[in-house]
Amino acid sequence: MIKTVQAFWGRSGHIEGVLAGLGATSTFLKLTLFASLSVI
């Protein structure tokens, strides 16, 4: 039972990490796009 709970929390934590990484990447891309547009 405890192992199942630990596996569940580990998986949800991993998913949150992936989502946070994707959010940071998209924000970085938006900033890069905005910077390149303002230079032109």
pLDDT in tens, 30-40: 999 999 988 86
Tell me the longest C-alpha to C-alpha distance in the chain. 59
pLDDT of res. 40? 65
C-alpha 25/C-alpha 21 separation (Å) is: 6
Q: Which domain holds residue 3?
A: 1-40
Q: How far is CA 35 from CA 8, 10, 17, 24, 30, in A?
A: 41, 37, 27, 16, 9
How many structural domains comprise the chain?
1
Query: Could you identify the residue written with the tokens 């032109």?
Result: 40
Per-residue pLDDT of 1-40, as tens digits, reads: 678 877 766 777 888 888 888 999 999 999 999 999 888 6
pTM of the model: 0.50
